[in-house]
Amino acid sequence: MFLSNFTKHFGFFSLLFLLAGSYACQDDRLVNGAVPPDIVLNDINGQSLPLSSIQTGKIVIIDFWASWCKPCIETHERFKELYEKYKDTQIGEANGLTIYSVSLDNKPEAWQKALEKYDIPWPHQVNEPLAFGSPYTELYQFEQIPTFYVIDERGVIIGKNLTYKWLDYELRRRMGEV
């Protein structure tokens, strides 16, 4: 009865649009505007460090990487620049920038050595020893690394795998510099 009354008053195409929209809302894709799932893994001291515990009004880069991944290490060099430049800077409504790095090293020793070797400065480092067998690879919808998401101060996704130049531009835009 509802459907016949709806199509009578609003038309068949409106019904299709409504149904397609509700289907799209049920889609669990991580796109801009979506809220990413929480990640709860252990840090270098073996303590639980949930992603949700650091989402305190900052821009957060969620970084999936591994010590054996050369492109990941190259990405970290760019992240170091961004981190040093913006970690304590007001970025629009955000109180700085931080990075939550998820190592997919199945041997925690390799991850810990890489942190020292590459002098990674941000404090939010966790390890997923299940590597690509992790449920987070499915939740975050990726099959290769490096993969990263950018989350704004409200906790919603504003980008995935952005280039350094584009990410820097977006941060400066939020600061009113461009």
Is the separation of the CB atoms in 146 and 72 below 8 Å?
yes
CA 160 → CA 57, 81, 90, 103, 157, distances in Å? 19, 18, 22, 17, 8
Above 50 in pLDDT, residue 59? Answer: yes
The whole-angstrom separation of Cα 61 and Cα 107 is: 23
CATH superfamily of the 31-174 domain: Glutaredoxin (3.40.30.10)
Whether the predicted pLDDT of 76 surpasses 90 = yes
Give yes or no for residue 11 having a pLDDT over 80. Answer: no
| Predicted pLDDT of residue 17 | 37
d(CA 167, CA 108): 30
pLDDT at 16: 36
pLDDT confidence bin for 20, thresholds 50/70/90: very low
Mean pLDDT of 53-75: 96
Largest CA distance in the chain: 68
Mean pLDDT of 97-108: 97
Which residue in 31, 102, 93, 101 sits closest to 58, CA to CA?
93
Domain boundaries, the chain: 1-27, 31-174
Average pLDDT, the chain: 87
User: Residue 34: how many CB atoms within 10 A of its CB?
Assistant: 14
Residue 107 identity = K
Lookup result for tokens 């390890």: 127
| pLDDT value of position 27 | 56
113: pLDDT confidence band, cut at 50, 70 and 90?
A: very high
The residue ranges of DSSP E strands in 66-165, in sequence order, are 90-91, 94-95, 97-103, 124-127, 147-151, 157-160
pLDDT cut 90: percent of the chain above it: 81
**pLDDT, mean of residues 120-142:** 96
What is the rounded CA–CA span in Å between residue 156 and residue 149? 10
More confident residue, 73 or 10: 73
Dist CA 61 CA 159 (whole Å): 9
